[in-house]
Structure 1
Amino acid sequence: MITDPELDAEWDTAEPAEVAEPLASRERAAAGTARPWLWALGGVVVASAVWAGGLYVFGDRLAAPTVSYRATKNLCEDFKARTLGGLAGDLHKKRPMNQESNHPAVYGAACVLNNVDGMPDFIVSAQVDLHKKVDPSTEFEVPPLGEMANTGDVRREAVPDLGEDAVMTTSAVGQLQKLKVLDGGAVFTVEVWASTFEEKNDRPATDATAVQAALIEDTRELMAALKD
């Protein structure tokens, strides 16, 4: 079996009777109420200055990034998955599922591989997103909501020496492992799902450490293949 490799208040509705007051008092009151407007106006100016300063500081992340990777027209041809294939058998034996999307903001390509015809028991997917408008680093660390809903508790661990930032995610039961890498305006996501890590369909039993190492190796190879 696979083993592990990160107000309660009362309102007074009574209204006091209106008491007439001298004109001078009303003028003084009117003058006093003008001051909060000045403070509010000053707050707007300060807030605008802070906001503008924030845009200046983070302008590099809001600007279009320099993408260091080329678009692929067939990710399943570029994603060899050699190391994962050594664990699961030939992942290109069954016809791969390949998809692309060339949106003005993000170019995306995806590939799904599995090791058997019929009901798969070891599925590998890869996705590459090239961000053409906004630097993806601002939201890279945010986990997808669907991930938490579908897998429950997960462990997320940083992976050193891989791209600008890399995170390995493992589900509580260990059957879903995902590596996500940020580098050069691109996000690479490679994922493994297995119904079991015991011996099955002519593939040997494996463990989490081997699967994670294979994910890292095959992702590194994919990044090298698409490097512009």
Structure 2
Amino acid sequence: MITDPELGEEWQTEALEPARSADGSAPRERATGGPGRRPWLWALGGAVVASAVWGGGLYAFGDRTAEPESSYRASKNLCQDFKAQALSGITGDMHSKKPLNLESDHPAVYAARCGLENAGKDGVAPDFEVVAQVALHKKTDPSAEFDAPDLRTLAYMGGVRTAAVPGLGERAVMNVTSGDWLLVLKVLDGGAVFTVEASASTYAEKNGRPATDVDAVQAAMIEDMRELMSTLKK
């Protein structure tokens, strides 16, 4: 394997001595006036050709992955499809305020996103926010990157606890940040990736909402995720 030089080590940039003939004389000048082609240029040319052939071979023989299978339809309004009934039962009605609905139909990925929050009373800010997202991959299989950590979560929200969630799609995980204030449920099923995020400013009683706990919120997220996947099933 060809590697870069070690850190702190420099490439040699001195001019190379021209190769000598068997009798020790220097090579003849070409008609153009330049020295004969140096052996290392032949090696370099061979490496370039080999790389081109190798790259072409990868392209020709399957480097392009097959289109992933998906048994889910695109959602034209995810906030209508994502009812969040279980979450609303413990956080207050998540649909009482105008939701934020977005969608993007890219040739590689169809994505839909819905942002909800419970209603604060008398101008009080909401204390629960929920975001649901669906990504339907059209060109490549998302399973290879499914377990990659979310850098936003790691950078801004401290340590993350991860646990597998059985019974949802092919694979599902629940990520819980330090302080339990952000929960992220991710599900992989074929070419589809579903995400539900729930963030809480407090689990204590507030705005007429009874106190709850992180376990109850996680259970509600799983129930609402299952309902969403069923709704979008073809």
> TM > 0.5 between the two?
yes
Distance 1:127 1:194, change over 3 A: same
- Aligned with 2:166 (options 148, 157, 160): 160
Contact 1:94 1:114 in 2 (8 A): yes
Alignment map for 1:112-151 (pairs within 5 Å)? 112-117=115-120, 118=123, 119-151=125-157
- What is the CA-CA distance between 1:107 and the residue it aligns to? 1.2
**What is the alpha-carbon distance in structure 1 between the residues aligned to residue 178 and residue 150 of structure 2?**
16
- Aligned with 2:217 (options 184, 187, 211): 211
Q: Provide structure 2 residue ranges, at least 5 long, that are not aligned to the other structure.
A: 1-6, 27-37
Distance 1:9 1:142, change over 3 A: closer
Which structure's relative contact order is higher, taking Cα pairs within 8 Å and 6+ residues apart?
1
**Match for residue 4 of structure 2?**
none
- Paired-residue identity, %: 53
List per-residue Cα deviations over 1:69-116 (Å, max 9, x = no partner).
101111111111111111112111222221111122211111111111
TM-score after normalising by structure 2: 0.75
Contact 1:104 1:132 in 2 (8 A): yes
TM-score after normalising by structure 1: 0.77
Number of positions where the alignment pairs a residue of Structure 1 with one of Structure 2: 214
**What is the alpha-carbon distance in structure 2 between the residues aligned to residue 130 and residue 38 of structure 1?**
46
Contact 1:69 1:184 in 2 (8 A): no
Alignment map for 1:187-206 (pairs within 5 Å)? 187-206=193-212
**What is the alpha-carbon distance in structure 2 between the residues aligned to residue 80 and residue 168 of structure 1?**
20
- What is the CA-CA distance between 1:186 and the residue it aligns to? 0.9
**Match for residue 31 of structure 2?**
none
- What is the CA-CA distance between 1:210 and the residue it aligns to? 1.2
- What is the CA-CA distance between 1:184 and the residue it aligns to? 2.2
List per-residue Cα deviations over 1:53-74 (Å, max 9, x = no partner).
7996775xx2221221101111
Residue 169 in structure 1 maps to residue 159 in structure 2 = no
**Match for residue 30 of structure 1?**
none
- What is the CA-CA distance between 1:161 and the residue it aligns to? 2.5
Task: Name the SS for the 2:194 alignment partner.
Answer: strand
What value does the CA root-mean-square deviation take over the aligned residues?
Answer: 3.5
Task: Name the SS for the 2:167 alignment partner.
Answer: coil
- What is the CA-CA distance between 1:217 and the residue it aligns to? 1.2
- Aligned with 1:78 (options 66, 81, 84): 81
Amino acid in the other structure paired with 1:66: E
List per-residue Cα deviations over 1:103-159 (Å, max 9, x = no partner).
222111111111114411111110111111221112111223222222122122222
Residue 24 in structure 1 maps to residue 20 in structure 2 = no
